Amino acid sequence: MIRRHFLSLAASILLALGLTGTAQAEDGFIVVQSTTSTQNSGLFDHILPIFTDKTGIEVRVVAVGTGQAIKNAANGDGDVLFVHAKPAEEKFVAQGHGLARSDVMYNDFVIVGPPADPAGVAGMSDVVAALGKIAEAEAPFASRGDDSGTNKAELRLWGAAGIDVRAASGDWYRETGSGMGATLNTGTAMGAYIMTDRATWIAFGNKGDYKVAVEGDAKMFNQYGIILVNPEMHKNVKAELGQTFIDWVLSDEGQSAIAGYKVDGQQLFFPNAG
């Protein structure tokens, strides 16, 4: 009886220790709600191992469109928000879902197109005029249509061109409801123009004979920001670990890691913290 009681007690202690160890291990990670461009471009594969080696903190990325990432973070499903739609990010903070927002890095958007160039926009730098020509020609245009940062920027530019693309939805204007990589695959297959962030385009492996058609307009600037999800509003947020990640991303080491990521010799993101 005594032996049986001892074994039972020992098992309970070991179980408790095991659960405690598991809890501690699970506490060693954070969830970052981010956008597909940071994932599809390979940036996270480059910088996250550097951060984890330095701190021991694992980073688990949920890569979705910026709109969905913001919704997820507003629901408390994450510790850090790392996206690229500054007005929406500032609204997220203003609503109390996040703490201070910081610039991290930038690149730009481009419009890629088929060699036939049915709208005659190849070589243009005025994106609003180029979109006007695409609409006038009713040339196929593939949009993400997913409320991502890229989609938000694209819709702003159509608005600046005075074009209601919703009225053309399903005709020459096609919404994929997909991430950037999937939209590039769909758009190139159908001979459509596509607006993409430059980083994803450089890293995209299925370009075929597509080329960048429109680039260089200041309106196509693409800024990324980072925010700690508010632990006062969402009690499950790992504020200390999340802030450690943010501090590293904004540090000289983190910014150097971002700048050092290249594909085919081309830098994909340009750090501008502070």
Measure the CA dihedral 159/144/120/208, to 10°.
160
CA distances from 119 to 46, 86, 124, 172, 267 (A): 38, 31, 11, 12, 30
How would residue 27 be classed by pLDDT, with cut points 50, 70 and 90? confident
Q: What are the sequence ranges of the domains in the chain?
A: 29-107+223-271, 108-220
Does residue 23 carry a pLDDT above 50?
no
Report CA-CA distances (Å) from 102 to 198, 242, 247, 249, 271.
22, 14, 10, 10, 12
- For 108-220, which CATH class? alpha beta
Query: Phi and psi for 114 in degrees, rounded to 5?
Result: -75, 160
Of 137 and 148, more confident: 137
Closest CA to 268 of 29, 44, 18: 44
The two three-digit tokens of residue 220, written as one number: 């196509």
Q: Is the pLDDT of residue 134 over 80?
A: yes
pLDDT class of 274 with cuts at 50, 70, 90? confident
Tens-place pLDDT, residues 155-206: 999 999 999 999 999 999 999 999 899 999 999 999 999 999 999 999 999 9
Q: Which residue has the tokens 């947020």?
A: 237
Measured in whole angstroms, how far is the alpha carbon of residue 38 from the centre of its chain? 5
Q: Does domain 29-107+223-271 have CATH number 3.40.190.10?
A: yes
Rounded mean pLDDT, 144-162: 95
